[in-house]
Chains A and B, each alone.
Chain A
Amino acid sequence: MTTFWKHRLFWPAAALVALVTVNSIARPRFLSITMRDGELYGALIDILRNSAPLMLVALGMTIVIATRGIDLSVGAIMAVSGAVALTVIDGSDDPGNLGTVLVAVATAIAVALVLGVWNGFLVAVLGIQPIIATLVLMLAGRGVALLITGGFITTVNSDPFSYIASGYLTLVPFALVISVVAVAVIALVERRTALGVLTEAVGINPEASRLAGVRSRGIVWGAYVLSGALAGVAGIVYASNIKAADANAAGLFIELYAILAVVLGGTSLAGGKFSVAGTVIGVLVIQTLESTILFLGVPSAQSPVFFALVVVVVVMVQSKRVRGAFGMVRRPGRDGPTGPPGPSKHEAVTGRRTEVAA
């Protein structure tokens, strides 16, 4: 039982269950899923479908954070990818053609890949701090997106393109299929091959892992490429949902929500151990909370207050001081009220004790 309490996914999962419970009491229809014309509808399905862009971005962010990095540019990459896709479709003679849409999607993802390669180059090769390296693209990316769309909001009317966000693949929404496939592929690749372990090794101690023969440069680079590509897909889903490319609004603040989702899922920002399942739970908590806030009739502009409270509560629950007070950590702070300096302060968060921090 104690191990169950101490499992690092316990608190995130408990938060999700609590949210769902509150919702299903407040509105009984919350849990009901109806079938119409062989397609599923309901509040839960909406939450799952709307979470697709955040899920994709947060997955990439998880891997980047595991390497001790952070990717602030995902929102800007989403804007660029949406702008590229819609400009290609808008410029073609036949916007409704499936081939056109496929070309547009492929071009957009390729551009996003290039942007990811650029971020990875700055971080892994030039050795620039991740926050500031990705800040470059975060600032410049939206400008590029605006240039691509010529400063306008490009809108298209293309059935195959809007299928991406609002279509159904037999029973379930296609957007949900995309995010489930992404989760499955990343979980398999990271956990069924050595890649996940190597990624954690790089995040826990880059120098030690390099000396141990891990090709840390390639792994860090790859993490940013992955993050860029996933943000590209997320940008397409977002653009498809609103059938337009809005360079200013696409993916605004999504980097912050994605980081929040990763942290909610128990992955420490200090790098190292990561949890794909935790991130999935984190994303669902955020999306459910968003839906709850909307249901309560609070204007969506005011919802950040709730997220601020969630962030404060979560980081305080994870902090050593509070855990020590409730006897949740075996060894409370060793050297007084300020706590031990350096990375050791995150031991309590990630539950790792044996690794030597750099």
Chain B
Amino acid sequence: MTATVTEGRTERLERVSAATRTFMSRHAAMTPTFAALVILALLLVGAEASLRGDFVTPRTISSLLLDNAYLLILAVGMTFVILTGGIDLSVGSVMAFTGILGAQLLGSGVPAWLAVTVMLAGGSAIGLLIGVLVQYFDVQPFIASLAGLFLARGLAFVVSLSSIRVEDTGVLWLQQNRIRLGDWYITPTGILALVVVALAAFTLHLTRFGRTVYAIGGNEQSARLMGLDVARTKVAVYVISGFCGGLAGLVLTAYSGAGYPRNGIGTELDAIAAVVIGGTLLTGGRGYVLGTLVGVAVFGTIKTIISFMGAEQSWMQIIVGALLLLFIVIQRAIVARAERRR
């Protein structure tokens, strides 16, 4: 009797493990995202244990979204670009430029709706420039977006050399208004970021445009031969990234209550790191915008843990670098396995 029970158990185990194997081999592209989720869970559990139960509280988790809303928006835009196999180095500078531009406009009495429109349009315009350079002048994305980085950073300093305070109640409302549910809260900036994620997930998975983005990342020439509109899509992803840069500029301005031309130096690297940690392959064609959400969560959690522990911020850079390394090695292994099977 005991024998049959154990037999049944092993059979069931085998069936489960077989099912897992089938699932994993069919959805190998999801493995890095799962790995990121596991790391996130480990981080939360580890922090909870070592910080004597002070960490996983509604307050901390809520502030995680609040503190990283701008990064989440940037990373979503970056996901579009990376999925096509490109890269956008300009996002941090675009965020700084649109932020200081908005602060300047608001300071000179321009109504908030107009200032916000100009910010979003400014970000999109720089994205458009990069996209046109990439698509129509055959410039590598790295160099084209480098030009965007220089342009936006320089323009930020042209607008103002020092920081400008924002007094506009409409913009500050985005940050200060807290919608509470018990101890949980969310700000309009957080809602904005989550809406961006939802819209991006919808666009990427359920629209023709989104499928074209994946197709270009998989094989650009095949996409073209299939009759997909490669040129327009490739320009569009950079415009989306630029638009997200503008939106992040708005969110960061609301968050810090000021525009500052030195904002976001190196933020493009944080965004790329979050996207990669979230499981998007830098070669393009594979990845999920929800993975990016996980990547940003991992990034933000590490930052919070480090500030909880009172450790130096330099550890942040080292840990993020190490995590990035771990994830690219995982990705490398997955790609190598997929190539062997082909």
Contacts and interface: CB of A to CB of B under 8 A. Distances in A.
Interface residues of A, number: 55
Contacts of B150: 256, 304-305, 307-308, 311
A341 interface: yes
B87 A301 contact: no
- Tell me what chain A mostly uses at the interface: helix, strand, loop, or mixed: helix
Interface residues of B, number: 53
Given A316-B133, A339-B138, 10 more contacts: A136-B324, A141-B321, A142-B317, A143-B317, A143-B318, A146-B314, A147-B312, A151-B312, A259-B143, A270-B140
Given A127-B332, A139-B321, A140-B318, A338 B143 contact: no
A338 B272 CA distance: 28
Interface string B179-222: 00000000000000000000000000000000000000000110
Interface in B148-170: 148-151, 153-155, 157-158, 161
A274 to B, nearest CB: 16
Contacts of A342: 221
A146 B312 CA distance: 9
A158 B180 CA distance: 59
A126 interface: yes
B221 A301 contact: no
Contacts of A141: 317, 321
A58 to B, nearest CB: 15
Interface string B115-134: 00000000000000100010
A339 B234 CA distance: 14
Contact of B283 (A129, A256, A269): A129
A49 interface: no
Given A136-B321, A137-B321, A143 B315 contact: yes
B142 A301 contact: no
A136 B326 CA distance: 10
A304 B273 contact: no
B148 A70 contact: no
A315 B135 contact: no
A312 interface: yes
A338 B135 contact: yes
Select the residue from B146, B155, B230, B276 with max chain A CB neighbours within 10 A: B146
B269 A138 contact: yes
B135 A269 contact: no
Select the residue from B151, B265, B312, B317 with max chain A CB neighbours within 10 A: B317
A269 B282 contact: no
A306 B144 CA distance: 15
A4 B282 CA distance: 40
A40 B139 CA distance: 41
A140 B317 contact: yes
Contacts of A131: 87, 142, 282
Interface stretch (A91-99, A160-168, A317-325): A317-325
Select the residue from B231, B276, B314 with max chain A CB neighbours within 10 A: B314
B158 A305 contact: yes
A337 B232 CA distance: 12
A319 B137 contact: yes
